[in-house]
Amino acid sequence: MTARWLSILIPAFNVEPYVEECVESVLRQAQESIEVIVLDDASRDGTWQRMLALEQRWQPYVRILRHASNQGVSAARNTLLGAAEGDYVWFLDADDKLCPGALTDLRAIVQHNAPDLILCDFSVWRERMRLKHLLRGEGHRATFLGSANRLVHDPAALLAGLLQAGQLHMWSKVTKRSLWPEDLRFPVGQVFEDVLISTLLALRARSFYYCPKPWVMYRQRSGSILASMNLPKALDQSRALVPLRAELEHWPYWGDARVRLALAHQCGRNLTGAMRYLHKHKTEIPPQVSARALAERFRQDFRAASPWSARELARAYLRHGWWLRWIKFCRWYGWQP
């Protein structure tokens, strides 16, 4: 272990009620040989004042940074990545928190296996958890479909398992800092940025380890991306995987049947999400924008990103007996405003 084995990187914007609980969920578990870096992305509430108090209370384990103007979560993460000194980096959202024991589990995996990438599960955190939420599995959400609790050297299995699970957020992944070349950064000004970056990292990882335990408590609140969808977000969701297709064609995993099925399936999910937004909000689309043209654009994004055509994906769903997936995909791919 070096002086800093882990950097936990927390972008913060207008999270005054949450940031203290987030940081303390980390530092109550471990202090030595880790660093917590929090960046205020020009918040308009009292987030910065909370961060100043946290830095004073938890010196020397907490460092705070600040953007002079709001640049968005991608730019904040890029700044944090440039400031990190740990062997491993873990992005955590400022309104979430770590589950007890997460850092103990993580350090044991790092010490015994030293994988390039580590995956964990999460639990959905609501102020009022009801029976219906538990029945939906919100107490434990899996982020990977594949081998667990062992070191694996199979990037195709990693990419396929990530795409099949569909949980492509960065806060459920811990990576070696060396896995980030200087030209791999979060796309500034876009949402659904995790979808692309998490998959590009998977391509570069020579080894991975999946721990099927919730390490993160994900706070469900109204300000989340999915809860506040709009047309620019739907467009970003629709085209999120187009660059991955272009990148994958240059890797040997492009011909792997697991990867092609999983990528086509996730492209179908992205199409479904964008089409659902359009269906629900088509009366809110600006008059100069054609809803029919938008629907066709979403289908074009699917065709640009997916290794399979819509017909091939639909047939694959039927071959696997995935009837609900087949029904959902066929409905939304063929839907016309």
DSSP string, 119-170: EEEEEEE-SS--HHHHHTTTTSB----S--SSEE--HHHHHHHHHHHT---G
Q: Is residue 190 part of a domain?
A: yes
According to DSSP, the residues that pair with 175 across neighbouring strands are 89, 117
Which strand (E) or helix (H) includes residue 173? Answer: strand 173-176
Could you tell me if 130 and 266 lie in one domain? no
- CA atoms of 176 and 161, how far apart (whole Å): 19
Q: Which of 168, 200, 224 is the last residue of a domain?
A: 224
pLDDT band at 85 (very low <50, low <70, confident <90, very high): very high
Rounded alpha-carbon distances, angstroms, from residue 87 to 17, 34, 36, 118, 173: 30, 10, 13, 13, 14
Q: Which of 184, 204, 224 is the last residue of a domain?
A: 224
Could you tell me if 173 and 244 lie in one domain? no
Q: Is residue 1 part of a domain?
A: no
Could you tell me if 261 and 215 lie in one domain? no
- CA atoms of 120 and 102, how far apart (whole Å): 9
> What is the tens place of the pLDDT at every residue in 154-201?
999 999 999 999 999 999 999 999 999 999 999 998 888 899 999 999
Could you tell me if 194 and 273 lie in one domain? no
Residue 73: CATH number of its domain: 3.90.550.10
Could you tell me if 101 and 131 lie in one domain? yes
Instruction: Find the domain containing 37 and state its range.
Output: 6-224
Could you tell me if 181 and 267 lie in one domain? no
According to DSSP, the residues that pair with 151 across neighbouring strands are 209
Q: Check residue 286 and give its pLDDT.
A: 84
Q: Is residue 200 part of a domain?
A: yes
The 10 Å Cβ neighbour count of residue 229 is 18
Could you tell me if 125 and 201 lie in one domain? yes
Q: Check residue 1 and give its pLDDT.
A: 41
Q: Which of 224, 252, 285 is the last residue of a domain?
A: 224
Q: Does the pLDDT at position 90 exceed 60?
A: yes
> What is the tens place of the pLDDT at every residue in 4-52?
999 999 999 999 999 999 999 999 998 789 999 999 999 999 999 999 9
Q: Check residue 190 and give its pLDDT.
A: 84
- Mean pLDDT, rounded, for 199-209: 95
Could you tell me if 136 and 276 lie in one domain? no
Could you tell me if 146 and 204 lie in one domain? yes
Specify the number of domains making up the chain. Answer: 2
How much of the chain exceeds pLDDT 90, in percent? 83
Q: Is residue 312 part of a domain?
A: yes
Q: Check residue 129 and give its pLDDT.
A: 56
Could you tell me if 148 and 281 lie in one domain? no
Q: Is residue 182 part of a domain?
A: yes
- Mean pLDDT, rounded, for 282-295: 88
Q: Is residue 10 part of a domain?
A: yes
Q: Please tell me which residue, 220 or 55, carries the higher pLDDT value.
A: 55
Contacts of 266 (CB under 8 A, 6+ apart): 163, 164, 166, 168, 195, 241
> What is the tens place of the pLDDT at every residue in 97-130?
999 999 999 999 999 999 999 999 999 876 665 5
Q: Check residue 31 and give its pLDDT.
A: 78
> What is the tens place of the pLDDT at every residue in 289-309?
899 999 999 999 999 999 999
pLDDT band at 133 (very low <50, low <70, confident <90, very high): very low
Could you tell me if 212 and 130 lie in one domain? yes
Could you tell me if 188 and 265 lie in one domain? no
